[in-house]
Structure 1
Amino acid sequence: MSEIFEKHDLQHFPLNITEKPNGWIVTKFDLVSLKMEPGFASGKQNQNETGVPHLRPMNIGRNGKIELEKIKRVLPRVEKTLKTGDVLFNNTNSPELVGKTTLISSSENGYAFSNHMTRLRIPKCISSEYIAYYLHFLWQSGYTKHHCTNHVNQASISTGTLGNSFPLLLAPENEQILMIYKIDELFSELDEGVKELKSAQIKLSQYRQSLLKSAVEGSLTKNWREAKKDIRKETGEHLLARILKQRKEQWLQQKLAEFTEKDKIPPKGWKDKYPEPAQPDTTGLSELPEGWIWASIDQLAVNKRYGSSSKTNDDSSGVPVLRMGNIQDGKLDYSNLKYLPNDHKEFPDLLLNDGDLLFNRTNSAELVGKTAVYRDIGKPVSYASYLISVTFTEYFLPEMAAHYINSVLGKKWLAEVMTQTAGQANVNGTKLGSLAIPLPPVAEQLVLIKEIKNEFYLIDQQIEATVLGLKQSDAQRKNILKSAFSGQLVPQNPNDESASVLLEKIKAEREALAKIPKPSIPNKPKKRVDMMDTLLEVLTAEDDWVDAQEAFKKCGIVDETSTDRIEEIYSELRKLEKSRKINIQRCGDYDQLKLITQNVEEN
């Protein structure tokens, strides 16, 4: 029955249709489903305990299981609820994720589902597990990626495409049961291994945090201090005094050079205009080891700059621009880069120096404050506007500041000082400058950073091993499913009824269901949502206050929208706010936006 599909439908198909086992058939999902339909949009966020859970794309994991860490609740709709045995297919997502599929268990019975999901109601003679595993296998193998429709920032697979263009290799009913039993048995073994690997990852992450805390509190180098207490020469206090003295001298020299360049005589009292750095606020901070002292970022910094807000491109012959997504686990990730031309007007001022600290000033509340240290990679590198770079004095190792900010102590400080607007958190340069961080003597800094580096290396090796183990587990799952849907996982029984008989059974079940009267549901007028390119367009079309999240939706910001698009909209939001073109007000748990209209008086 491969002739029922177009040649295009069979491209990138991971199974051999022409060599299917005896008793198997090639058919369409539309022919083996009692009903296929998408759900409905959730509207305003509702994360309290009212209503029913509303499953969205993020609630289907890469392993095909339901994840409820982030869940919205909505008022139920009788015609759009899930039943045990339903198959839920993710119809809209990024090209890499569209097509994830899960099986609805009794735990999710009665849940609602998003318009980005398609519900397949499976007849009694077909194994729901078989269909769910099959569709998820098509996603794992990359078939859905090649057969989706690409839009701006996302991709989709329509109900018609899923129902009529996706080939389904259907096994006889008895063989389906045996296959699912075997798949579940093998997957259960893999699940145990995955559970152990993820547990190891959590423990390694906890150990990393424990290590950072012991480092910045001084306990990591306690034995070193004991061994060196009789020969130590300079304390942190002496070091800070030396740094501050040098800082002022450099400022005076810079000002004198400016006066000389302009052929001016320094005015009376010009030295009194020296900008004193912010003092550290040590309120509530723990006592430091002997020889350490609290210092502010500004006291230790030579320079502090915001990154470029210029539009970047994909031309890799230019200068790479680090963005907030390039800071991962305290390190810089040089994948997924954007670029600026080599002759960009902000260069060389916004080129990074070896040892510059990069601080993520704007992000979600969970991610704001991500910090890493840039080390020279042999070519110029710049950074985007949501990052702040800090160049420190030569007597302070930037890793000390990065480790403190990334530790639980730094996260506590971030939670206290961040401000939140329209779902984004911000910590500006002034707040960063006044952050109090521990300053040990230079010799102890070197020992401490070396110790952490060695320990982190060992942690990273173990994490890489767990990541490899998880990838191998995913590959094994894919191989198991491919073996199953190729008819190689369980032996065929020549006495089994052919799968073609199932189509007649499904037809009879459909006819019986059609005779059951449907409950009348009052029609509600549909609200049309126009997609727009910019936030300004959305706000111009509104006469009154509009919820920020609703405005973002109209700009195409939905579940798992690309980071680039999110950054673009939030950058526009900041510009509109800075230029006083919009008002932002807090309304309960949400931010609302409104365009400021200017009255023009006609002469």
Structure 2
Amino acid sequence: MREDNSPCLPPGWTWATIRDTGEYINGLAFRKSDWGDEGLPIIRIQNLTDPSKPFNRTSRQVDPVYIVHRGDILLSWSATLDAFTWRGETGVLNQHIFKVVPDNRLVHSPYLYHLLRHAIDLLKQSSHLHGSTMKHINRGPFLSFQVPLAPLAEQRRIVAEIEKHFTRLDAAVAALERARANLKRYRAAVLKAACEGRLVPTEAELARAEGRDYETGEQLLQRILQERRAKWEAEELAKLRAKGKEPKDDRWKARYKEPAAPDTSDLPELPEGWVWARLDQLLGSLRNGISKKPDSESGTPILRINAVRPLSVNMEEIRYLSGSVDQYADYVLCQGDLLFTRYNGSPELVGVCGAVRAVDRKVVYPDKLIRARLASHLCLSSFVQIVLNVGLSREFIARRIRTTAGQSGVSGSDIRSVPLPLPPLAEQRRIVAEVERRLSVVEELERQIEANLKRAERLRQAILKRAFAGKLVPQDPNDEPASVLLERIRAERAAAAAAEPKRRRTRRTGGNGKRTEPVAKTLPLFGAGGER
């Protein structure tokens, strides 16, 4: 692609602007009042990047130039920058997308599609890319960007060679995607087996085989509850004494609220030696995070909301609060803390849980997260995070998620009420070790798959780079030079434009007061539709 240091082109090639290659029609802006359950689908950027996304539809009458048909080239120029071949049903073009109408006298449509994808990759790396969050390319620099144009016959040979290479790449990528999907299913199967007592031998089975006794989950739960109460009493007594009050009897102990056991009437039977518990029975505390918003480039590190994902807490996903960490002492995270997502725009991420592992500095957490601290070391937080993210425990949370103003959330009281299976402590340790062993293998394989997918994308870009440097297929001296063809077509366009009477394009309003679409005029540049 042509910049200041332009490479030499092969014989018969020429530089052309993107403007030369055809018509680029900018989409329409639709109001919510234009949406409905019937009519043509409105093709938005999300429908290009993810064909499974639902359409908004409209019965609004539009000029035919904004209608998109199967096989049309579409180019998104804001947020997502890429070219696509439309494979869906006939629809209407939304704003921030160009419909590309190639000038087939000059350019072979599949050649232009690949050329545009390659040009966009280069534009992304240039000064023509604007915006910090909403990346976009302005119309003028885009249209003026120069691209290498091969002779028309050679374009077809280039496309055939590109598609031969891409077919092999597509098959490799599809195999990698299948492998990634299989790993996802395997991960889910491992976690499901862990929560159902099928991943490792149960403590009951081992005790029978070894002829020994063991502590059941029910006995363990009673010890946890005793330790929970003892810890509360110690803390309450310390508070009283700090106020100069020495209890004369034990009546103050009656203020302790014994956590309720779960209703097991609808819960399935557990493996021998396991028991159903309610998360509240295992907790020492449950607390929302800091409501103050990050306001500094340094100071006290505070986790981002996206730091918490199922079975993980990324302690590097941080922003900063002004002030010393001592001001937020009650919110400092410790190893073994459980963090829940309290609010999120994606319901599937609400209520997910991760355990804090090693802590090498003081970090606090925001109010859209909830911190849970277990009352006793007799229950492993690394085990609790497993069972809370799958099976009946996760389903319990999912049923209690509420959505308001686009934000989905779950309450602390609902989290306290989650039922979870509790095996003997020794079995918890074995389950955690086996889950971590298997998932570490899965994660390594996923890293390899991701690396190979990136390699495939680099190969794709390298193929396009060779193609548009004239190195993918040999040149044929009998082909009409692209420069000759381009000059002839430019002359024909100029003559047609001079012969056509000028008409002023106006926006009109219909009898109902609503604006109707202007009549689109076929131009060698962009069609109707404005700049951003």
TM-score, normalised via structure 1 length = 0.76
The aligned amino acid for 1:58 is Q
The aligned amino acid for 2:292 is S
1:225 to 1:306, Cα distance in 2 relative to 1, 3 A? same
DSSP-derived class of the 1:18 partner: coil
1:467 to 1:446, Cα distance in 2 relative to 1, 3 A? same
Structure 2 counterparts to residues 370-409 of structure 1, below 5 A:
370-392=352-374, 393-409=376-392
Tell me the alpha carbon deviations over residues 158-189 of structure 1, each in whole angstroms, 9 at most, x when there is no partner.
3223212x222211111111111111111111
**Partner residue in 1 for 2:146:** 167
Structure 2 counterparts to residues 139-218 of structure 1, below 5 A:
139-141=120-122, 143=124, 146-150=127-131, 153-164=133-144, 166-218=145-197
DSSP-derived class of the 2:56 partner: strand
Q: CA deviation at 1:314?
A: 6.2
Farther off after superposition, 133-142 or 387-396: 133-142
Find 1:90's aligned residue among 65, 70, 76.
76
Name the CA distance, whole Å, in 2 between partners of 1:476 and 1:75.
40
Q: Is the 8 A contact 2:301 2:320 kept in 1?
A: yes
1:23 to 1:469, Cα distance in 2 relative to 1, 3 A? same
**Partner residue in 1 for 2:93:** 113
1:146 to 1:394, Cα distance in 2 relative to 1, 3 A? farther
Q: Is the 8 A contact 2:325 2:362 kept in 1?
A: no
Q: CA deviation at 1:511?
A: 6.9
1:497 to 1:203, Cα distance in 2 relative to 1, 3 A? same
Q: Is the 8 A contact 1:370 1:406 kept in 2?
A: yes
Find 2:275's aligned residue among 293, 301, 320.
293
Q: Is the 8 A contact 1:42 1:114 kept in 2?
A: no
DSSP-derived class of the 2:328 partner: coil
Q: Choose between structure 1 and 2 for higher RCO, CA contacts under 8 A separated by at least 6 residues.
A: 2
Structure 2 counterparts to residues 244-263 of structure 1, below 5 A:
244-263=225-244
Find 2:39's aligned residue among 16, 30, 51.
51
Name the CA distance, whole Å, in 2 between partners of 1:91 and 1:385.
36
Tell me the alpha carbon deviations over residues 52-80 of structure 1, each in whole angstroms, 9 at most, x when there is no partner.
2322223334xxxxx31113232153342
Farther off after superposition, 469-478 or 232-241: 232-241
Find 1:305's aligned residue among 279, 287, 291.
287
The aligned amino acid for 1:23 is G
The aligned amino acid for 2:45 is P
1:270 to 1:423, Cα distance in 2 relative to 1, 3 A? same
Name the CA distance, whole Å, in 2 between partners of 1:46 and 1:370.
34
Structure 2 counterparts to residues 316-327 of structure 1, below 5 A:
317-327=298-308
Farther off after superposition, 516-525 or 31-40: 516-525
Q: CA deviation at 1:336?
A: 4.8
* Residue 446 of structure 2 corresponds to residue 463 of structure 1: yes
Q: Count matched residues.
A: 501
DSSP-derived class of the 1:378 partner: coil
Find 1:270's aligned residue among 233, 252, 274.
252
Name the CA distance, whole Å, in 2 between partners of 1:171 and 1:224.
72
**Partner residue in 1 for 2:331:** 350
**Partner residue in 1 for 2:523:** none
1:464 to 1:310, Cα distance in 2 relative to 1, 3 A? same
Q: CA deviation at 1:486?
A: 0.9
TM-score, normalised via structure 2 length = 0.86
DSSP-derived class of the 1:221 partner: coil
**Partner residue in 1 for 2:66:** 80
DSSP-derived class of the 1:91 partner: strand
DSSP-derived class of the 2:336 partner: coil
1:455 to 1:414, Cα distance in 2 relative to 1, 3 A? same
**Partner residue in 2 for 1:68:** 51
Name the CA distance, whole Å, in 1 between partners of 2:186 and 2:509.
56
| Residue ranges of structure 2 left out of the alignment (5+ in a row) | 516-532
* Residue 430 of structure 2 corresponds to residue 447 of structure 1: yes
Farther off after superposition, 434-443 or 305-314: 305-314
The aligned amino acid for 2:183 is L
Q: CA deviation at 1:225?
A: 3.7
Q: Is the 8 A contact 2:204 2:214 kept in 1?
A: no
Q: Is the 8 A contact 1:60 1:101 kept in 2?
A: no
DSSP-derived class of the 1:299 partner: helix
Tell me the alpha carbon deviations over residues 3-47 of structure 1, each in whole angstroms, 9 at most, x when there is no partner.
xxxxxxx37xxxx63311122222211222234323334636969
The aligned amino acid for 2:147 is L
* Residue 26 of structure 2 corresponds to residue 37 of structure 1: yes
Give the fraction of aligned pairs with identical amino acids, expressed as a percent: 31
DSSP-derived class of the 2:162 partner: helix
**Partner residue in 1 for 2:471:** 488
Q: CA deviation at 1:86?
A: 3.4
Name the CA distance, whole Å, in 2 between partners of 1:47 and 1:409.
38
Higher Rg: 2
Name the CA distance, whole Å, in 1 between partners of 2:353 and 2:363.
17
1:298 to 1:421, Cα distance in 2 relative to 1, 3 A? same
Q: CA deviation at 1:305?
A: 1.4
Q: CA deviation at 1:426?
A: 0.9
Q: Is the 8 A contact 1:278 1:433 kept in 2?
A: no
